[in-house]
Amino acid sequence: MPHYLLPIPTCSVFATGGAIGDVLFFFCFGFTLFLGRMGRFDNWYKRRINRIYPHRFCMGHIKYFLFQPASEYGLYHYSWWRMVRNLHIMIYYAVLYFIQRFMLHQLKWVFGIVTLICIACYFIMDRPADYNMYGATYFKWGYYFLFMLLGAMMGISQKQWSFNFKTDFIKVIGSAFVYYAILFAGRKYTPFSELQILSLIPLLFIVYYFYKVCNSDALKKWYTDKYIGWGIKFIGGLCLEIYLVQSTLFTDKMNNIFPLNILIMFLIIVVAYILRCSSRFFFTNI
């Protein structure tokens, strides 16, 4: 669970608002989107709406009937606004469509331009002394776009990449170490906090080498395994649903049974499966 500040207070120093998990999610977003068929914008965008809104609709009802009575224990209150807000993904869809149609062979230029825009916005914006770019800030929806573009470039690249599990895994760990070192320095020393945007560099390398690790021969054996492969596909297929469910599970009321609370959190993710089945059933029968 990427956003584990509440359920794992003893490890809260590693909590970065789910940054690593989020950028991996958006990398996969861009990677798969540019491999799919596009077609006319209205039809293509309608398919994207059908992919997002049914889950939001059913999630709203599940939150109301299952979690509203438990709101006094620290779980989120139900509201229709929560069901439809934060659909920044729909904006990403529209922008990526036109990039794919008209700038497919200029993705590196697009990546460079978006990078410059993010850097400019970071230094122009009025940031408080305790500003955290991985916290509750709209700025992250700008730099997250970089990871979608990285995924798109990797997805359509015809280059034959070399994959070595041990070497690439060490590079993932090394990049993560540098990433956290920058964040820790920023929290402890004020001058470094002004340069926390530099943490995007190792974060990009984390995603890049993680992609290479997942394409290594060692992990490909896992994908083809009858049981392990099924588990990976099942969890991967619920990626969006888990993303929608997670906010309902933010609570510190089970911290007294740590680390058992983490197991309970993952067991509750079964709600994601209910969400998927409910949305498919509802929109199949209307």
pLDDT in tens, 175-193: 999 998 888 887 777 666 7
Residue 200 buriedness (CB in 10 A; 0-12 / 13-18 / 19+): buried
User: What are 243's two structure tokens?
Assistant: 């993303």
Q: What is the dihedral of CA 240, 246, 247, 252, to 10 degrees?
A: -170
Please, are residues 100 and 48 in contact by the beta-carbon 8 Å criterion? Answer: no
This prediction has a pTM of 0.77
The per-residue pLDDT for range 103-161, each reduced to its tens digit, is: 888 999 999 999 999 999 998 988 887 788 887 788 888 899 999 999 999 888 766 66
The tens-digit pLDDT sequence of the chain (286 residues) is 445 555 555 555 555 557 888 899 889 888 988 887 778 888 888 888 777 776 666 666 655 565 554 444 344 444 455 555 556 778 888 888 899 888 888 999 999 999 999 999 998 988 887 788 887 788 888 899 999 999 999 888 766 667 788 899 999 999 999 998 888 887 777 666 788 899 999 999 999 999 999 888 888 888 888 888 888 887 777 776 666 666 656 666 666 777 777 777 677 666 666 666 666 666 555 5
Cα gap 156→158, rounded to integer Å? 6
